[in-house]
């Protein structure tokens, strides 16, 4: 009997899972939490991260860093997928908190957001840059240490006229026709992520910049 127990303990010891590799990258989709904001222009970053999570069998159910998040292995890299719960204007709180915890430099943060200067369904990838008037990007730049991070912008369309209220526009819902145009852009954004994480941002821009 003692020998049997020794063998059992040895087997259990060998079967222990190895420690998870540390997170190397953050992929952050911007949006606003809550059902009221589903299918709104401001939430396409959330939609793209949901699409990416589906591709890599990642459950975005862990509440940490003021975000719904989950870890995925993308191109051999440990990646934290994040959907900040802070509301758009405070997205930098979630991003900077995760960066500090995992000691992630700003260059390894990839942000996916909406862009009202692009037509619905267009995508644009950038190595870095200013916020361009986007409050979520503005807060990340302010709290996370600068503009030197890649981003994927998904077009949600321009305001109907210059006097139209901007907040009302970005919090508005897509029409059924617009949703058909948007779906390929969400897919393109998800496909661009592994290229960017692998350092092939030029290829991603050539393939997916509209």
SS3 53: helix
Residue with tokens 């758009």: 88
Structure tokens at 66: 């003021």
Q: How many residues would you count in the chain? A: 210
Rg (CA), the chain: 20
Structure tokens at 182: 């948007």
Instruction: Supply φ then ψ for residue 84, to 5 degrees.
Output: -55, 140
Residue with tokens 């890599």: 56
SS3 194: helix
Report the distance separating Cα 120 and Cα 173, nearest Å.
12
Chain centre distance of CA 25: 11
Question: Residues with Cβ < 8 Å from 22, sequence gap 6 or more?
Answer: 78, 102
Give the catalytic positions in this structure. Answer: 42
Question: Residues with Cβ < 8 Å from 121, sequence gap 6 or more?
Answer: 155, 181, 182, 184, 185, 210
């Amino acid at each position: 009997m003692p020998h049997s127990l020794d063998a059992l303990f040895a087997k259990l010891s060998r079967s222990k899972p190895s420690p998870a590799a540390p997170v190397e990258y953050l992929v952050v989709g911007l949006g606003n939490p809550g059902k009221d904001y589903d299918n709104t222009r401001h939430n396409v970053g959330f939609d793209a991260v949901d699409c990416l999570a589906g591709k890599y069998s990642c459950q975005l159910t862990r509440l940490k860093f003021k975000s719904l998040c989950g870890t995925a292995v993308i191109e051999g890299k440990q990646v934290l997928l994040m959907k900040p719960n802070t509301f758009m204007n405070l997205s930098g709180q979630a991003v900077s908190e995760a960066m500090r915890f995992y000691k992630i430099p700003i260059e390894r943060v990839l942000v996916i957001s909406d862009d009202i200067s692009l037509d619905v369904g267009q995508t644009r990838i950038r190595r870095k840059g200013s916020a361009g008037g986007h409050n979520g990007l503005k807060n990340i730049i302010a709290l996370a240490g600068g503009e030197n991070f890649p981003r994927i912008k998904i077009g949600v369309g321009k305001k109907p006229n210059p006097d139209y209220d901007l907040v009302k526009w970005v919090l508005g819902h897509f029409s059924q026709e617009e949703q058909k145009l948007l779906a390929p852009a969400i897919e393109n954004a998800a496909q661009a992520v592994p290229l960017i994480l692998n350092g092939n941002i030029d290829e991603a821009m050539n393939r997916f910049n509209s």
